[in-house]
A and B are shown apart, each in its own frame.
Chain A
Amino acid sequence: MTTVADRFGTRVPGPWLCSVVALTVLSASYLGVLYRAVDIDGDPGLFFLVVGGAVVVGILLGRFVGPSVAYPCVGVLVAGGIVLYTSTIPEGYSLVVSVDALWMDLVALLTGLSIIRIINAGVWATAVAPIPAFLTAYFTARRQYGRATLVGCVALGFLILTGDVDTTIGLIGVLGATAAAGFGDLARRGSDLSSADTLVIVLAVIVVLTTSVSVVPGGESSPVLGGTGDEGPQTLEGGLTRAESQLSIRGSTSLSPTVRFTIESERRAYWRVAAYDRYTGSGWIRTADDRSYDASLPKPPGETETVRQQVRARAPVSVMPAAWKPISVENRSPRVTEFGGLQPTGQLEAGDSYTVTSAVSRADPAALRNASAEYPDRVRSRYTQLPDSTPDRVRAYTSNVTANANNSYDTARVVEHHLQENWNYSLQVQRPDEQVADSFLFEMDRGYCTYFATTMVTMLRTQGIPARLAVGYAPGERVDANQWVVRGLDSHAWVEVYFPDHGWMQFDPTPADPREQTEQGALDSARSDGDDDVDTNQTEPTPTPSPTDEGTDENASANESPTQTPANQSDGEGANDRNRPGPADGSDLGTTGGSDPTDEGLPLPTPEQTTFGTIVLLGVAATIRRSGAKERAYRAVWLRRQPRTDPKRDVERAFDRLEYLLERHHRPRRSGETRMQYVRDVGEADERRVAEIYERAVYAGDPSHVLADEAIGIVNKRVKKYTVV
């Protein structure tokens, strides 16, 4: 049996190297997740320094010292991490309280709190990362691959529990762990790589099962590599469905044109549900805690106008939209987020209603232009955060666009206008993997509200202007002087910009007309399909659905001025009070829009797909090797096709073919049995003739072409006879 080493002719690196590579992959999987947190909110340089230092020290200690120093080192790392983290916790907790808080954090993390939602996520990651990195390096250097793998598994498992590891990363990590343990075992037994084919098959099976089988029906368990674009019947729905599951929208804000709320309000407004502060490059996180509502909410600074809204749910929902900014709620006792979002403590049933009072800012552009640029530290650090990996060209581009604006308000207006004018509205986009804002600016020419809003927030933050993403519902269809019907497809995402002394002002960079048209299209088609949920009594479509159009048009134009956008107040709840905003709701859904078949050409496989594909191919190859299929295929060709060389070799090969045939139909030739004896025993006259020719050719030194032809001719006939089915 030839080994891999034989086949390549040279020495192949042993299993220990493969194990080290696999451990590196495993470590990279969880360090990558931690790095993401650092990238979003932290100091990547420090992170790399700490992790790299831990790895180097681990290797050195493992090679040259030993456990007597290494284990105390772990203690030092833990202590150092705690000190580093607690020292940066704001509001100066005392150490004791902080230790307590650490435990609370730990429990919260283990029960699904994403690490990105930790207040100092970057510092936390920097404090944690060196410990597993050190231990892995240490055990690897001591050739204790099993322990090194265990450390990696614990680290990866922790991050899986926090929900930060997506299926792809998790799969890569698990593959790394499996390979590390397997190859480590091979290395310990001193085997060579030729015995690794079982391991390779196992890895391939892991990939195949993970990517093709969903044990948990529906929901998150969609296969990693399965086509995302070819799922839903409509392209739009495909993206939305996925978005929904990711947001775990509680039945309220699917794309459907179903009516969600009817809102009675003195003013039209954007019905805000929630806001997000932390941009991850590919999505949004809300880091704020929520708390119980206690009688009233703080009123925003500046001149405001009170707007009462009465909101009646028309379908089961678990959000409480309200015009910005709600200051009191009646009939309900919601949870309140730090960003002024409302969230019902339970689900709202159809017919439930609440009343919310909002204080809508009346600040005019002039006042906002004159607003101070002195932002409080907390506001600045929180709302100008950008991932460290955000390309600089975003900043440069924004500076260029806003060169003529000399205050925050004008900058925001310019950016808003720039996006509205230069990008098209479309629900069908190919979602970029990372750096949504950058991709949208430089690679895409279309998108929907979440793209526009995300990009605008990113651009403003590059200019040092505090901004955040808000989600909720567009005003909807106006059915009466002060009554609006809000459907699922009205869900929307926009931008809030902070102005000292005025609070958060709303901007909407999404081109209004195309959005309205798209929504109206969806509504019309739903109506023509006979859906009965899409209308209330008041909105029964007339032959010409003009009122709706007008209503939405008004909405669109109303967006032009931020002072108008802040709208009436009634009750509201956070629609998407979720860690990841993604597609806020409804019609133009969030950042995670599905990949739709609008792109041209064949999509290039991602690195993950390439890796997984390679592993699967290797597994198939290993299976083939174990099953001997390759040999069989080779045999089949070998048996039927005999290239001619010199007579002696021709005769030899002819006899080999004959022998193969006879072996299959009689018995193998025993060792010590001459060819002639064998053929005499099992063969027929023709075959004995071949053996005679063989002996003449090989032992008499008398190979002639005539004899070779004769032998090959006989064997060819036998092959045909034996192999005809």
Chain B
Amino acid sequence: MSDNITAETVTAEHAQAVARGVIENVERVIVGQHDAVEHLVTSVLAGGNVLLEDVPGVGKTMLARSLARSIDGRFKRIQFTPDLLPSDVTGANVFNQKTREFEFRDGPIFANVVLADEINRAPPKTQSALLEAMDEGQVTVDGETHPVPSPFTVIATQNSVEEDRTYTLPLAEIDRFMKRLHLGYPDEREETELLGRITGEHPIESLSAVATIDDIQTARLAVSNVRVEDAVRRYVTRLAQYTRDNAQLGVSPRGSVALVHAAQARAVLDQRGYVVPEDVQQEARATFTHRIRPAPNGDRPASLVTAALESVDV
């Protein structure tokens, strides 16, 4: 057993180094969003997809791009518009005049990091094209299944303004995102620093990858090996149960799973081979809030999660 722990510890150390490296790298571009950056990186390590939601211009896309550039993998960006078709996302079979055969041409989804910008501007049919890839790591076109690369992470952004010109994401789709993050405006000091950085060459242009695909894969393995004891599992269950008891639609079991995975990644970030309740608490807001549909006149989801954290015994 102690050998095991030692081995795990070594892997966790490595994974932490990778994660810290990526976070540090991203923060060379992104100012003052430490929490969001950490969440983003832990999502990637935990194999989850992230929804960034905020008003335009706070750096959602920049964050996603920075992350993508920090990892030595393929990065694609899809700008969602109302006329975007599913095949624009997944790719399509096209007729090759030379070989007189149809052959599959990859869509932008075949990348390690996919930035789905303004996802809520595309109609649901196109949005749903993302679903299979996000959920199962593959896309099916004309009956043929094509696996997406691994690791695969979707970072979607959406505006929370101009709601009349958007298609609200269905709850089933939202549930497939591990986390939803808000960035928020930087404070005065941060914004001043941000303005300083953009003079001259934009820092993102000079950003280089700090982690290979292998690094990410190893780190993911380490994360999945992080120990989750019964007490922690029960704590997660009780939190989920609390939201179910107090909202019209509470957190699904998929949400609980997401929270455990996120907490595992969080434990790795602290170089720990086991999850403690604090990890769960740090991840609960990001993983739970978007999955809750509040009761009419009930608490807003954010307050509900806060209430759950405050009232459920650890």
- The stretch of A206-214, A318-326, A665-673 in contact with B is A665-673
Q: How far is the CA of A673 from the CA of B273 in the complex (A)?
A: 22
Known: A698-B231, A700-B273. A677 touches B312 (CB 8 A): no
Whether the Cβ atoms of A673 and B231 lie closer than 8 Å is no
Are B278 and A672 neighbours in the complex by a CB distance under 8 Å? no
Interface flags for B232-257 (1: CB within 8 Å of A; 0: not) read: 10000000000000000000000000
Q: Are A672 and B276 in contact (CB under 8 A)?
A: no
| Minimal Cβ-Cβ distance residue in A for B280 | A674
B310 — which chain A residues lie within 8 A by C-beta? 670-672
Is the pair B274, A700 in contact by a Cβ cutoff of 8 Å?
Answer: yes
Chain A 687-716 interface mask (CB, 8 Å, partner B; 1/0): 000000001101111100000000000000
Given A695-B276, A699-B229, A700-B227, verify A672-B5 contact (CB < 8 Å). no
Residue B281 at the A interface, CB < 8 A? yes
Q: Could you tell me the distance between the alpha carbons of A167 and B158 in the complex, rounded to whole angstroms?
A: 88
Give chain B residues whose Cβ lies under 8 Å from the Cβ of A671.
310-314
A286, CB-defined interface residue at 8 Å: no
Contact A676 B278 (CB under 8 A): yes
Partner of B278, one of A670, A674, A698: A674
Nearest A residue to B308 via CB reads: A672
Q: Does A142 contact B (CB under 8 A)?
A: no
Interface residue B275 (Cβ < 8 Å from any Cβ of A): yes
Whether A675 touches B231, Cβ cut-off 8 Å, given contacts A699-B274, A700-B273, is no
A701 and B229 within 8 A (CB): yes
- Considering only CB atoms, which chain A residue lies closest to B272 in the complex? A700
By the criterion CB–CB under 8 Å, are A674 and B229 in contact?
Answer: no
Tell me whether A672 and B314 are in contact (CB under 8 A): yes
A673 vs B277: C-alpha distance in the bound complex, in angstroms?
Answer: 9
On chain B, the residues within 8 Å of A672 by CB distance are 281, 308-314
Collect the chain B residues with CB atoms within 8 Å of residue A673's CB.
Answer: 314
How far, in whole Å, are A674 and B309 apart by their CA atoms in the complex? 10
Cα A701 to Cα B308 in complex, Å, equals: 26
The proximity string for B residues 250-287 relative to A, scoring 1 for CB distances below 8 Å and 0 otherwise, is 00000000000000000000001111111001000000
- How far is the CB of B23 from the nearest CB of chain A, in Å? 23
- Closest A residue to B2 by beta carbon equals A702
Q: Are A676 and B311 in contact (CB under 8 A)?
A: no
Determine the residue in chain B with the shortest Cβ distance to A670. B310
Most chain A CB within 10 A, of B308, B310, B311, B314, is at B314
CA distance A674 to B263 in the complex (A): 15
Which B residues, 124 to 153, have Cβ-Cβ distances below 8 Å to chain A? none
Q: Mark B73-105, 1 if CB is under 8 A from A, else 0.
A: 000000000000000000000000000000000
Q: Which residue of A lies closest to B228 (CB)?
A: A699
Q: Are B5 and A674 in contact (CB under 8 A)?
A: no
Q: Which residues of B contact A675 (CB under 8 A)?
A: 314
**For B5, what are the chain A residues with a Cβ–Cβ distance below 8 Å?**
700, 702
Q: How far is the CB of B9 from chain A (nearest CB, A)?
A: 10
Question: A698 touches which one: B229, B273, B309 (CB < 8 A)?
Answer: B229
CA of A698 to CA of B311, assembled, Å: 21
Q: A672-B314, A673-B314 are in contact. Are A699 and B309 (CB under 8 A)?
A: no
Shortest distance between the CB of B35 and any CB in chain A (Å): 17
The residues of A that contact B278 with a CB separation of less than 8 Å are 674, 676-677
| Chain A nearest CB, measured from B8 CB (Å) | 10
What's the nearest-Cβ distance from chain A to residue B143, in Å?
47
Among A670, A674, A701, the residue within 8 A (CB) of B276 is A674
A695 contact set on B, CB distance < 8 A = 274, 276
A704's nearest neighbour on chain B, judged by CB, is B2
Q: Is A699's CB under 8 angstroms from B231's CB?
A: yes
Q: Would B281 and A674 count as touching, CB distance under 8 A?
A: yes
A670 vs B313: C-alpha distance in the bound complex, in angstroms?
A: 8
Of A670, A676, A677, A701, the residue contacting B274 (CB under 8 A) is: A701
Residues of chain B with a CB closer than 8 A to A677's CB: 278
The distance in angstroms between the C-alpha atoms of A674 and B312, with both chains bound, is 10
Cα A374 to Cα B5 with chains together (Å): 113
Pairwise interchain contact B313-A699, C-beta atoms closer than 8 A: no
Pairwise interchain contact B311-A700, C-beta atoms closer than 8 A: no
Closest to A669 in B: B314
Q: State in angstroms the CA–CA spacing of A695 and B308 once bound together.
A: 22
Contact A676 B313 (CB under 8 A): no
Q: Which residue of A lies closest to B231 (CB)?
A: A698
CB distance from A656 to the nearest CB of B (A): 13
A674 near B277 with CB under 8 A, answer yes
Across-interface contacts of B274 in A (CB, < 8 A):
695-696, 699-702
Please, which residue of chain B has its CB at the minimum distance from the CB of A700?
A: B274
Known interface pairs A699-B232, A702-B5. Does A676 touch B276 (Cβ–Cβ under 8 Å)? Answer: yes
Task: Kindly state the separation between the CA atoms of A653 and B216 in the bound complex, as whole angstroms.
Answer: 40
Q: Closest residue of chain A to B281, judged by CB?
A: A674
Taking the closest CB of chain B, its distance from the CB of A322, in whole angstroms, is: 91
- Scoring B273, B274, B276 by chain A CB atoms within 10 A of each residue's CB, the highest score goes to B276
Return chain A residues, CB-CB under 8 Å to B275: 699
Q: State in angstroms the CA–CA spacing of A422 and B197 once bound together.
A: 125
| B312 and A699 contact, CB distance less than 8 A | no
- In the assembled complex, 29 residue pairs joining A and B whose CB atoms fall closer than 8 Å, in A order, are A670-B310, A671-B312, A672-B309, A672-B312, A672-B313, A672-B314, A674-B277, A674-B281, A676-B276, A676-B278, A677-B278, A695-B274, A696-B274, A698-B229, A698-B231, A699-B229, A699-B231, A699-B232, A699-B274, A699-B276, A700-B5, A700-B227, A700-B229, A700-B273, A700-B274, A701-B227, A701-B229, A702-B5, A702-B274
Give chain B's interface residues, CB within 8 Å of chain A: 5, 227, 229, 231-232, 272-278, 281, 308-314
Interface residues of A (CB under 8 A from B): 670-677, 695-696, 698-702
Given contacts A671-B312, A701-B227, 19 further A-B contacts (CB under 8 A): A672-B281, A672-B311, A672-B313, A672-B314, A673-B314, A674-B278, A674-B281, A676-B276, A676-B278, A695-B274, A698-B231, A699-B274, A699-B275, A700-B227, A700-B229, A700-B272, A701-B229, A701-B274, A702-B274
Sorted nearest first, the 4 A-B pairs with minimum C-beta distance are A700-B274, A672-B310, A674-B277, A699-B229
